[in-house]
Each structure stands twice: as C-alpha cells, then as structure tokens.
Amino acid sequence: MRLVLVGVEGPINLGSVARLAKNFSADELFLVKPVARLDDELAIRFAAHARDFLARAVIVERLEDALRGVDFSACTSAKVGQRSDVLRHPLTPWDFAALATRFRKVAVVFGRESVGLTRDEIALCDVLVSIPANVEYPVLNLSHAVAIILYELYKATRLQESQFRVEPANEELLRKLAQRLECIAEKVVTDQRIQQVKAALRHLLFKSGLTAGEASGIAYFVKRLVKRLGVDECLA
C-alpha cells in the first residue's frame, strides 16, 4: 500500500498522515513536491511514534514518478462530476477498498490542502475516490480524509492480521445451540407461534456473528436453563 501526498502544505498534516500510515500498515509514503518539510519540528512531533516512517518518505517531482510500479491507483477528491464529467465519477472508499484486494500493489493519492488535485493529476489515476459527506460542506481536512480511506483499505486487506480478529463460532456449536433452544421453545410455547419462534431463534444465532467465546457462554447459559426448567432431554 503506497500513500501519495501531492504538494502537502501543512507540517501538522504531514506528521499526522505519517502516523496514520503506520496505524493502518501502509508500506510506503511518497511526497510529490511537498511544501512542508520532513524535518519540520511540527511534522516530527505530530508523527509521534511514526517518525521513522516519516523519515523514510520518498520525495519526487512528479505524480507520474510516485505512481511508477503500482498495479492500481486511486486519486481522491471532494468534487464529484455530473453525468458528462466522467473523470469525476467516483467510487466510495469501501468500493475502492474491495477492488484493491485484487491487486498486488496499490497507491492512493491525496491532493493539496488548499486546492486538492488538478484534473490532469486525477487523469493519471485508474479511479477516483470520494468520501460521502454533507453536501453543504463535503471537504474534509487532509489527515481526516486519509484516516477514512486508509481505514477502509486496512479493513479490506490487512484486518486478518489484526489483534481484533477473533475466532468465530463454528457451525457445529451453532447447530447444537439452535437444537437446544428449539427444544426448550417446544416445552414452553404451546400455541401456533412455535414455528415462528423456532425460526427466529435460528436466525438470531446464525445472523449474529457470534465469536467462539460468546457462543460458549450462551451454551453454558442454555445448559443451566435446561437444568432449571427440568427438561434434560433438551441436552441430548
């Protein structure tokens, strides 16, 4: 994942973007004719623990140089075109992230804080990405826009490596839970709504995205409930 900033003007934004790049596992940072300096005290301070990433940034003169060697590139803009302005027909960040999973090396390009990217620069990218926002004020701060798009890319391409990936409940345990809950339902629901209740219980279990730990906790609760109700046959 290559992050490209064109003409970045503010040292605080530069430092903040370097930090975000490290937060969301970007591999490279390219700066096209930056106004802000890498050794600016504010840039270094706002980079925090990503100072090493900031120091490794590659400075180039042209956007073409920053895009060399990538398989798929996206330019970003808050300006969305009408039907005839195909150049400004954008993808959402999540649609772009889904496409990015198909390519080995991806670059995402952000423009100047003051004026963004030119049409000629946008034309160098394979696609345009825009963040949906309030139409009365859709222009985000540079670092905020970077955060949103890098987060979507991270979810799509890197989340399987994250500490937040937990083991999902397996199908066998969910089936067993569903059977036991349906058995309990048959003991306590005696009218014509029993099929509706059983279907609702199955849907609840299989649509909820339970983790293995959560399913285990529910299984323990169901077992105790069976004992309390005196319907031990529901444990079979």
Say yes or no: 197 and 217 in one domain. yes
Query: What mean pLDDT comes out for the span 141-146?
Result: 97
The residues that bridge with 3 in the sheet, in sequence order, are: 29, 108
pTM: 0.76
Examine the domain organization and report whether 108 and 204 are in the same domain.
Answer: no
Q: Residue 152 corresponds to which amino acid?
A: E
C-alpha distance from residue 53 to each of 150, 163, 203 (Å): 15, 22, 46
Same domain, 139 and 194: no
* Mean pLDDT of all residues in 172-186: 91
Q: What are phi and psi of 128, to 5 degrees?
A: -110, 140
On whether both 43 and 80 belong to a single domain, the answer is yes
Q: What is the pLDDT of residues 71-124, one digit of tens each?
A: 999 999 998 888 888 899 999 999 999 999 999 999 999 999 999 999 999 999
State how many domains the chain has.
2
Q: Hey, which residues does 32 pair with through a beta bridge?
A: 6, 60
Distance, first Cα to last Cα, the chain? 52
Residues 66 and 182 reside in one and the same domain: no
Distance between CA atoms of residues 234 and 190, nearest Å: 16
Question: Is there a single domain that holds both residue 154 and residue 179?
Answer: no
Examine residue 166 and state whether it is found in any structural domain, yes or no.
Answer: no
Work out the mean pLDDT of the chain and round it to a whole number. 92
Q: Which residues have C-beta within 8 Å of that of residue 236, sequence separation ≥ 6?
A: none
142 and 198, same domain (yes or no): no
More confident residue, 158 or 149: 149
Please tell me whether residues 83 and 129 are part of one structural domain.
Answer: yes
- Answer yes or no: do 21 and 72 share one domain: yes
154, 186: one domain:
no
Question: E strands, 44-84, where?
Answer: 58-60, 72-76
Domain hosting 223: range is: 171-235
